[in-house]
Chains A and B, each alone.
Chain A
Amino acid sequence: MSTVKGLTTFKKKDGTLQLTRDIVTWAPAAPPNSPPTVTIQVGNIENLQATPATSVKVMIKIFTKEGDTSESYVFNFTAASARAEADAMKAALSDAIAAAKAGTAVPGGPGGASSATIAATAAGASTTELMNEARLAKDMDLQMSLLKSDAALSNTFREAVMLGTVTSEQFWSTRTHLLRAHALEKSQARAPYNVLSTFRVNTIDGAPKMSLSREQIAEIFRTHPLVKKVYDENVPRVPEDQFFSRFFLSRLFKTLKGDKLSPADPMDVVFDRYLNREDEEYTRKRRKVDHVPLTIDLEGNEQNISKNRGNAPDVTMRPSRMENVPVIRTLNSISLQILNLVAPTDTSKVGEGSGEDSRDRDEEYIASQRLTDLGGDPEEERIILNIQDQRKFFSNEDGGKTQNRFAGMDAASVLQTLRQDLGDKPFDIADLLPGGGEDDEDVDEPNPAAASASKAGFHSATKQVTEAVRDRSSQLLTLSTGTNSALATGGLPREVFDAVQSVHATTNEFLRHFWLAFLSGDEKRAKDINSMVTSLRNSKERIEAVAKNAEEQREELKVQRKKDLHEEYKKTGIKPKKKDMEVGGGKKVVDEMLGPTLVAIDKALAKYQAALDEAERLTPGGGGTAAATPVGIAA
């Protein structure tokens, strides 16, 4: 690595800032050839700051951290070409830092050992970086992009944070998992794929149509450099849209895609010229594989069992340019190309292919091929649970409150009556069934009153069952029909239903933060509790407003419906049915939907009020508590 120099002042003294390999030094200019007074290992550099290009002063600030001590150095570039020098220094420094972090610190450098350890910690940090809660909470861009991708969440955010009292930190503190998932999702890049096979020709009005986006074209060029070459060489002559429409009909397209050519395929002057040129393109792009594990090296086969005599190998195994197996060859080459475009994940191992290392990798490879289930069972590492006798705890609280239901019943007499009831002889069940004893005069005949009572019971039982079935079936129907039907929204108009959903989501957000703060027992959060309580009270009002709006809408709809039906009656002479007059929705439905939410709010407010009263009673200001405190201490 070359040396980068710059004339700078440091602590108001002139000197030279110099970067050699991975060490930054600054030597004062005053006594010439004096030893450097500042030496910084690149690996220790935590952060780098530079003044923007527009500012007059040109400075670079270096933050370092070694162990627990952090320091910062400011270098002011003084030369005539200060900006250029600073830029060069900055670029070199960032490169050196990046190299140090990536673990490939300049070999042989004096700080090699220390930078290696730092690289290790840096690599560890990058994997856990995504998991760091504090970092996620601060990453505004990430949050914005998550909100953009999730409409419901963004709605809640708007209602609760932008219009409500929840702070952004609070909002995200309960959603770290979402942020983390989103960060992971974003950090993943899409792998290359066989782009040509994704195109489908749609036939519209008899003519084949196809749409092609800029990204798709770029993708084609990337995976098939040959197409790019054709495009470069021909496009000004051939108009672009015509180029692609011809390309998708050409033999070249079919070959690249991996389809079989048929003699009926149309010829194309432009594209057919390139039909056999693909190979050279591929070989040029092919990644150099410097080491093939011996276990999968086919070259070894050739030496071991030569196929030069006897039967020739199968047609697919011959390294020839047989034209009768183009499909296999094309598919192979496409896979190869796609693989070439994928960034290798095992980079750390590649490139250090010394002899010993490669043997290790061979063994590693063999180990990965071993059929583990043929070996013995590995020793299981289980967590030992020391389960204690559960009965010990059973008796703890027994006897305290259990007797409430059957208290005051005498066991002996109860048993006695039951035994009497049951009798000691077998009884005929027919006598005891409803209506069973009718034709038997001698059995204790149920009197008419009892008979009618049992009949009523029978009917109401049937009613209960049928109602339950009806309830259930309407629910199942709601589930099976989508969210857009009137059934799903309970007959509410769409916008009212949306309002209901939104107020529900926001209220839940408030409730969640309320309970988090309320149950935390942390007095620092008392303020949060108060603001949440205010929000909850507002939520109640909002629910009422939504209900009112729903009712108004319903009235309007009712009037409208009546008018419509009346007009229809005038036209057709058919009297409107009563069923058609009914309009769903209204306050009742809203109240039903948000009923549980209201209950939750009331419960939260009641708990808060109780706690508040308690606290007020205990403050010295309240009456009577002055006496309570000392007694409390005495107790």
Chain B
Amino acid sequence: MDKVDASAHYQGVTEDKPSLLVVVLDTNPFAWQSLHSELPLQTALSHILLFLNAHLSFSHANRVAVIASHTKSATFLYPNSAAAAETAETSVDLYRDANKYRLFASIERQVQSSMQRLLSSTAPESLAGTNETTMAGALSLALAYINRVCNADNLSDSGEGSGGGARPGEARADTASMTARILVVSVSGDLANQYVSVMNSIFAAQRQRVPIDICKIAGDTVFLQQASDSTNGIYMQLQHPSALLQYLLSCFMSDPSTRHHLIPPSQINVDFRAACFCHKRVVDIGFVCSICLSIFCSPPPGAICTTCNTKLDVSALGNYGGKPAVVLMKKKKIKKAKKVLNDSAADSSTPGTPVA
């Protein structure tokens, strides 16, 4: 009421918003090692850097950030204050290079040096038994950074302080000074262990209207597909990883405001399955706690929800999901049969089970 919102009348203003691109790079060493013959990490990094340069070339005000989703941690590769200090110390002459735009050079240096530092600081022991990387952490970092750049800056810029960040969710995207998107370059597989946190990040992104694009070089995850689908991002499974740059430039170049006018190259078949909270399995049919909506692959032991400790009434389920009774049999025999079946199911791998 105290402020006339005039921005809506100037279409041009909204269309020309600068864009922030946050690249989340999956740095699972095993995965990159197995990709080595097709796409060495170094080459991939150079492709991504060139892509960042292309993004920056669109507008002065465009910004980028690179986050590494490593095996045990998620860190910023750019902007990275430690790397910045280092590059400033060691290579002052870098900025004298007349053949390169200074910003490009500085980003390249920082990303490379922080990447090198990240790898050299990784202890081999810490890699044991890791199949996936901290994607949830990286996404959270990205969202926090986006929020800071898009909204916190907006607040201080506009000065009035009445609009902008103070308003809840939906309105924020309109008043933000920048549009933002996240590009996940993923090489490792399943994220089932981080299901809850990944889904939370997805919902946060959805609310902030931040599309999450997925560039899937290797591996297969259900949840990243859902991420791109629910945030209106683009999902692309690369058939030819060596041509990463071509994919990046042709699929992921357009910023959110341009995308309204384009047909996305997204693949449409989305796997909407969820992972159960108890064993982190991806389930077709599951059981949902009526209080906290936790998902279970089988009714939890003692009918108590493991997340919220609610006593659940499983009697309504009856024998649901139990052994299908296909043929009419006398009751006694079914009981016996079930017992055998359960025993054999429990240790089907061990040799010498009676049924086998």
Q: Does A86 sit at the interface, judged by CB under 8 A?
A: no
Q: Does B75 sit at the interface, judged by CB under 8 A?
A: no
Q: Does B246 sit at the interface, judged by CB under 8 A?
A: yes
Contact B343 A411 (CB under 8 A): no
Q: Which of A387, A462, A523 has the most CB of B within 10 A?
A: A523
Q: Does A519 sit at the interface, judged by CB under 8 A?
A: yes
Shortest beta-carbon distance from A501 to chain B in Å: 21
**Among B112, B333, B355, which residue has its beta carbon within 8 angstroms of that of A426?**
B112
Beyond A402-B131, A454-B242, whether A469 also contacts B263 by CB under 8 A is: yes
Instruction: Digitize A463-476: 1 where CB-to-B-CB distance is under 8 Å, 0 elsewhere.
Output: 01110110111011
Q: Does A239 sit at the interface, judged by CB under 8 A?
A: no
Separation of A473 and B268 alpha carbons in the complex (Å): 11
Instruction: Digitize B281-297: 1 where CB-to-A-CB distance is under 8 Å, 0 elsewhere.
Output: 10001000001100000
Q: Which of A524-576 contact B (CB under 8 A)?
A: 524-527, 529-530
Beyond A396-B279, A432-B46, whether A521 also contacts B321 by CB under 8 A is: yes
Chain B residue nearest in CB terms to A527: B328
Separation of A464 and B337 alpha carbons in the complex (Å): 52
Instruction: Give the chain A neighbours of B120 by CB distance below 8 A.
Output: 419
Q: Determine, out of A173-181, A257-265, A296-304, A617-625, the stretch whose residues face the partner at the interface.
A: A617-625
Instruction: Digitize B28-39: 1 where CB-to-A-CB distance is under 8 Å, 0 elsewhere.
Output: 011111101000
Chain A residue nearest in CB terms to B238: A461
Q: Does B354 sit at the interface, judged by CB under 8 A?
A: yes
Shortest beta-carbon distance from A512 to chain B in Å: 13
Shortest beta-carbon distance from B176 to chain A in Å: 28
Separation of A196 and B238 alpha carbons in the complex (Å): 66
Contact B113 A426 (CB under 8 A): yes
**Among A397, A402, A418, A619, which residue has its beta carbon within 8 angstroms of that of B333?**
A619
Contact B279 A427 (CB under 8 A): no
Contact A631 B354 (CB under 8 A): yes
Q: Does B324 sit at the interface, judged by CB under 8 A?
A: yes
**Among B31, B112, B324, B355, which residue has its beta carbon within 8 angstroms of that of A406?**
B31
Instruction: Give the chain B neighbours of A418 by CB distance below 8 A.
Output: 29, 32-33, 41, 119
Q: Does A388 sit at the interface, judged by CB under 8 A?
A: yes
Q: Does A371 sit at the interface, judged by CB under 8 A?
A: no
Shortest beta-carbon distance from B105 to chain A in Å: 9
Q: Which of A600-635 contact B (CB under 8 A)?
A: 607-608, 611-612, 614-620, 627-629, 631-633, 635
Instruction: Give the chain B neighbours of A461 by CB distance below 8 A.
Output: 238-240, 243, 246-247, 250
Contact B129 A403 (CB under 8 A): yes
Shortest beta-carbon distance from B53 to chain A in Å: 8
Shortest beta-carbon distance from B350 to chain A in Å: 12
Q: Does A433 sit at the interface, judged by CB under 8 A?
A: yes
Shortest beta-carbon distance from A119 to chain B in Å: 32
Q: Does A522 sit at the interface, judged by CB under 8 A?
A: yes
Beyond A429-B50, A526-B325, A628-B355, whether A464 also contacts B318 by CB under 8 A is: no
Separation of A398 and B322 alpha carbons in the complex (Å): 26
Beyond A465-B250, A468-B265, A632-B340, whether A620 also contacts B333 by CB under 8 A is: yes
Contact A457 B307 (CB under 8 A): no
Q: Does A237 sit at the interface, judged by CB under 8 A?
A: no
Contact B242 A414 (CB under 8 A): no
Instruction: Give the chain A neighbours of B219 by CB distance below 8 A.
Output: 405
Q: Which of B80-137 contact A (CB under 8 A)?
A: 91, 108-109, 112-113, 115-116, 119-120, 122, 124-125, 127-129, 131
Beyond A434-B245, A620-B333, whether A629 also contacts B340 by CB under 8 A is: yes
Contact A615 B329 (CB under 8 A): yes
Shortest beta-carbon distance from A520 to chain B in Å: 6
Q: Does A412 sit at the interface, judged by CB under 8 A?
A: yes
Q: Which of A418, A469, A471, A476 has the most CB of B within 10 A?
A: A418
Beyond A523-B325, A615-B329, whether A387 also contacts B292 by CB under 8 A is: yes
Beyond A385-B292, A468-B265, whether A633 also contacts B334 by CB under 8 A is: no
Contact B42 A432 (CB under 8 A): yes
Contact B239 A529 (CB under 8 A): no
Beyond A415-B29, A427-B112, A521-B320, whether A393 also contacts B306 by CB under 8 A is: yes
Instruction: Digitize B167-178: 1 where CB-to-A-CB distance is under 8 Å, 0 elsewhere.
Output: 000000000000
**Among A422, A454, A522, A632, which residue has its beta carbon within 8 angstroms of that of B243?**
A454
Chain A residue nearest in CB terms to B264: A472
Q: Does B207 sit at the interface, judged by CB under 8 A?
A: no
Instruction: Give the chain B neighbours of A409 by CB distance below 8 A.
Output: 30, 33-34
Contact B324 A521 (CB under 8 A): yes
Q: Does B63 sit at the interface, judged by CB under 8 A?
A: no
Chain B residue nearest in CB terms to A617: B355
Contact B239 A618 (CB under 8 A): no
Q: Does A460 sit at the interface, judged by CB under 8 A?
A: yes
Shortest beta-carbon distance from A267 to chain B in Å: 53
Contact A399 B129 (CB under 8 A): yes
Contact B336 A385 (CB under 8 A): no
Separation of A348 and B21 alpha carbons in the complex (Å): 64
Separation of A620 and B333 alpha carbons in the complex (Å): 9
Chain A residue nearest in CB terms to B340: A632
Q: Does B196 sit at the interface, judged by CB under 8 A?
A: yes
Instruction: Digitize B13-57: 1 where CB-to-A-CB distance is under 8 Å, 0 elsewhere.
Output: 000000000000000011111101000111101110110000000
Instruction: Give the chain B neighbours of A530 by CB distance below 8 A.
Output: 326
Contact A394 B193 (CB under 8 A): yes
Q: Does B309 sit at the interface, judged by CB under 8 A?
A: yes
Contact A615 B327 (CB under 8 A): yes
Shortest beta-carbon distance from B148 to chain A in Å: 27
Shortest beta-carbon distance from A614 to chain B in Å: 7
Q: Does B315 sit at the interface, judged by CB under 8 A?
A: no
Instruction: Give the chain A neighbours of B129 by CB distance below 8 A.
Output: 398-399, 402-403
**Among A394, A415, A518, A619, which residue has its beta carbon within 8 angstroms of that of B122?**
A415
Shortest beta-carbon distance from B89 to chain A in Å: 13
Instruction: Give the chain A neighbours of B196 by CB distance below 8 A.
Output: 390
Shortest beta-carbon distance from A222 to chain B in Å: 46
Instruction: Give the chain B neighbours of A631 by CB distance below 8 A.
Output: 340, 354
**Among B42, B246, B265, B337, which residue has its beta carbon within 8 angstroms of that of A618?**
B337
Chain B residue nearest in CB terms to A450: B242
**Among B47, B91, B326, B336, which residue has its beta carbon within 8 angstroms of that of A612?**
B326
Instruction: Give the chain A neighbours of B326 by CB distance below 8 A.
Output: 526, 529-530, 608, 611-612, 615
Q: Does A424 sit at the interface, judged by CB under 8 A?
A: yes
Q: Which of B329-356 contact A (CB under 8 A)?
A: 329, 331, 333-334, 336-337, 339-341, 343, 354-355
Contact B327 A414 (CB under 8 A): no
Q: Which of A439-493 contact B (CB under 8 A)?
A: 453-454, 457-458, 460-462, 464-466, 468-469, 471-473, 475-476
Q: Does A599 sit at the interface, judged by CB under 8 A?
A: no
Separation of A411 and B131 alpha carbons in the complex (Å): 12
Shortest beta-carbon distance from B275 to chain A in Å: 11
Shortest beta-carbon distance from B351 to chain A in Å: 14
Contact A520 B318 (CB under 8 A): yes
Beyond A421-B42, A429-B50, A454-B242, whether A396 also contacts B278 by CB under 8 A is: yes
Shortest beta-carbon distance from B131 to chain A in Å: 4
Shortest beta-carbon distance from A530 to chain B in Å: 8
Q: Does A207 sit at the interface, judged by CB under 8 A?
A: no
**Among B50, B119, B318, which residue has its beta carbon within 8 angstroms of that of A419?**
B119
Contact B29 A421 (CB under 8 A): no
Contact A414 B29 (CB under 8 A): yes
Shortest beta-carbon distance from B334 to chain A in Å: 6
6 further interface pairs, Cβ-Cβ under 8 Å (given A402-B129, A465-B236): A411-B127, A418-B29, A427-B46, A461-B240, A518-B324, A619-B327
A-B pairs with the 7 shortest C-beta distances? A521-B322, A521-B319, A632-B340, A523-B325, A461-B243, A429-B46, A406-B30
**22 interchain pairs (CB within 8 A)?**
A385-B292, A385-B308, A393-B278, A397-B281, A414-B29, A415-B127, A421-B41, A426-B113, A429-B46, A431-B46, A432-B46, A434-B245, A453-B242, A519-B320, A608-B324, A611-B323, A618-B333, A618-B337, A620-B333, A628-B355, A629-B337, A632-B339
